[in-house]
Amino acid sequence: MTIDQKVIEQRIEHFKQVCLNARVKLTRQRLDIFREVARSGDHPDAETVWKSVRKQAPNLSLDTVYRTLWLLNDLGLIKTLGSHHERTRFDANLSRHHHFICTSCGLTKDFYSETFNNLPVPDDLSSVGAVETLQVEAHGICSKCSALNRQHKQKPSVKEDYHE
Amino acid sequence: MTIDQKVIEQRIEHFKQVCLNARVKLTRQRLDIFREVARSGDHPDAETVWKSVRKQAPNLSLDTVYRTLWLLNDLGLIKTLGSHHERTRFDANLSRHHHFICTSCGLTKDFYSETFNNLPVPDDLSSVGAVETLQVEAHGICSKCSALNRQHKQKPSVKEDYHE
DNA sequence: GTTTATGCAAAACCTTTGCATTTTG
DNA sequence: CAAAATGCAAAGGTTTTGCATAAAC
């Protein structure tokens, strides 16, 4: 999935501005790496970014990718996601959004919902901490995986339903 | 945080039943490891489980803990959580629940909400996949961290607010 | 008694770090 | 030109694996 060209350009402008403000040097590598995350809609991990950028800049090193991604994260230009058992992945979408997560393949897709943006914060959370934002995770099986499952005539998994 | 004794016993009974059904051998180590996750309310990682159980069973090895936790996960007896930059953590709470996550220290606390249990699934997700469950993540600063911040008179972080 | 799980040690994996060299502002 | 970033190689921390021994059914 690819992001609209206009949005990419906006993101890159913003990136340059933030670097300037923060007195962070604008190197070729940083621009390449940020552009790659900004234009990819599917939350790539460090190695994926590295492989993509290396097509144009073959001597980019993987550790620079890591260093840069964490720098961008510290600057608030990208966010991290991805759970256990998979590598850390990065997202340049700073708009308020929610995630669909495929429990089979791990696909994580952004989606937007005004309803979910305006959920009430439960009262009893105030003792736990101060909630800043609520994000909804929709867990399920993505279209691709359910197509595959149908082909292979897989039996549904046999987890018991149990609740305390 | 510790779980109520009755709930722990229910969880252990269920665990034994599932092992029997799945023809998975019920070993001392597996029981110890499951009990530890079942009675801990704070989603321990593998090493934490290992250290706790080793107090009673000193020659338990860490790799058995890993193997067992993933087995329990495959059997649907526990779930994984935890994000990038921290170890995988495990949760024996199979009831429908949501998470408060502290953006400062990573504390993850279960909470319950009937409202959140009954959120409508957005229509436009149907093209992405079949949603099975919606879970809300409340991100914020936990009470402990905000107390610490006040003590240290920390300046608030200076991320710009930017939206596409 | 057969099958399966454990413990040990070693490997694999992803990510980070130290340092000399190069590049940026 | 001073300060900071890169690439290289080596180390770090967590998790996994192969194999002989031990335990469960």
**A91: closest CA among A71, A74, A77, A111?**
A77
pLDDT of residue A160: 43
Q: What is the DSSP string of B8-23?
A: HHHHHHHHHHHHHHTT
- At B157 the pLDDT is 46
Q: The sheet that has A98-102: what strands, in order across it?
A: A108-111, A98-102, A129-142, B129-142, B98-102, B108-111
Chain B residues with CB inside 8 Å of A95's CB? 163-164
Instruction: Give CA–CA dist B11/B8, Å, rounded.
Output: 5
Integer Rg of chain B from CA: 19
Interface contact B124, partner A, CB < 8 A: yes
A101 touches chain B (CB under 8 A): no
pLDDT at B159: 45
A21-38 burial, b at 16+ Cβ within 10 Å, e below that, comes to: eeeeeeeebbbbbbbbbb
Q: State residue B149's pLDDT score.
A: 76
Two tokens, residue A6? 């206009």
Residue A157 clears pLDDT 60, i.e. is over it: no
> Which residue is associated with the tokens 């003792």?
A127
Alpha-carbon gap, residue A112 to B113, rounded angstroms: 22
Which nt is closest to the CA of B27, judged by C1'?
A: D24
- Give the mean pLDDT of A134-158: 80
Protein-covered nucleotides on strand D (Cβ within 7 A): 4-10, 14-18, 23-25
In chain A, the percentage of residues whose pLDDT exceeds 90 is: 79
- Domains of chain B with bracketed CATH: 5-74 (1.10.10.10), 98-161 (3.30.1490.190)
The answer to whether B28 CB sits below 7 Å from nucleic acid chain D is yes
A59 CB and strand D closer than 7 A: yes
Residue B157 phi/psi, 5-degree rounding, is: -70, 150
Residue A104 confidence (pLDDT): 86
Smallest Cα–Cα separation from A78: which of A42, A111, A38, A48?
A38
> If you average pLDDT over residues A143-150, what whole number do you get?
87
Q: Per residue in A31-89, pLDDT tens?
A: 999 999 999 988 999 999 999 999 999 999 999 999 999 999 999 999 999 777 788 99
The answer, yes or no, to whether residue A159 has pLDDT greater than 50, is no
Nearest-CA residue to the C1' of C8?
B61
pLDDT-based confidence at residue A153 (cuts at 50, 70, 90): low
CB contact under 8 Å between A163 and B94, yes or no, is yes
A144, A105 contact by CB (below 8 A): yes
End-to-end C-alpha distance for chain B, whole angstroms = 41
Per-residue model confidence as pLDDT tens for chain B (164 residues):
789 999 999 999 999 999 999 999 999 999 999 999 999 988 999 999 999 999 999 999 999 999 999 999 999 999 998 777 788 999 999 999 999 999 888 889 999 999 999 999 999 999 999 999 999 999 999 999 998 877 765 554 444 445 55
Q: What is the pLDDT of residue A150?
A: 79
Task: Kindly list the residues from chain B whose CB atom is less than 8 angstroms away from the CB atom of residue A20.
Answer: none
CB atoms within 10 A of CB B155: 7
Res. A124: pLDDT tops 50: yes
Q: What share of chain A in percent tops pLDDT 70? A: 92
Q: In one letter, which amino acid is A116? A: F
Model's pTM, two decimal places? 0.88
Any strand D atom closer than 7 Å to B64 CB: no
pLDDT tens by residue, A51-60: 999 999 999 9
Q: Is the dihedral of CA A144, A145, A147, A151 positive or negative?
A: positive
Return the pLDDT at B163: 57
Identify the pLDDT of residue B156: 47
